[in-house]
Amino acid sequence: MSLIEAWDRQQELYIGGREARFDALLSTVEWHSELAGTKSPTVVDLCCGPAAIGERLARRLPGSRYIGVDIDPVLLELARQVTASFAPGRADLVDSDVADPAWLASTPIGRVDVVCSSTGLGMTPNRV
Ligand SMILES: C[S@@+](CC[C@H](N)C(=O)[O-])C[C@H]1O[C@@H](n2cnc3c(N)ncnc32)[C@H](O)[C@@H]1O
Ligand 1 pocket: which of 19, 56, 70 to mutate (most atoms within 8 A of CB):
70
Give the integer Cα–Cα distance in Å for 78 and 20: 23
48 pLDDT band (50/70/90 cuts)? very high
Residue pair 72/122 in contact (Cβ under 8 Å)? The answer is: no
pTM of the model: 0.93
- Per DSSP, the residues of 36-84 read HT-SS-EEEEET-TTTHHHHHHHHH-TT-EEEEEES-HHHHHHHHHHHT
Q: How far is the CA of 118 from the centre of ligand 1 (A)?
A: 8
Ligand 1 pocket test, candidate residues 55, 71, 78, most atoms within 8 A of CB? 71
Question: What residue ranges define each of the domains in the chain, with the CATH number in brackets?
Answer: 3-117 (3.40.50.150)
Task: Dump pLDDT digits (tens) for 85-123.
Answer: 999 999 999 999 999 988 888 887 888 999 999 988 765
Query: 60 CA distance to ligand 1 centroid (A)?
Result: 22
Q: What is the mean pLDDT of residues 42-59?
A: 96
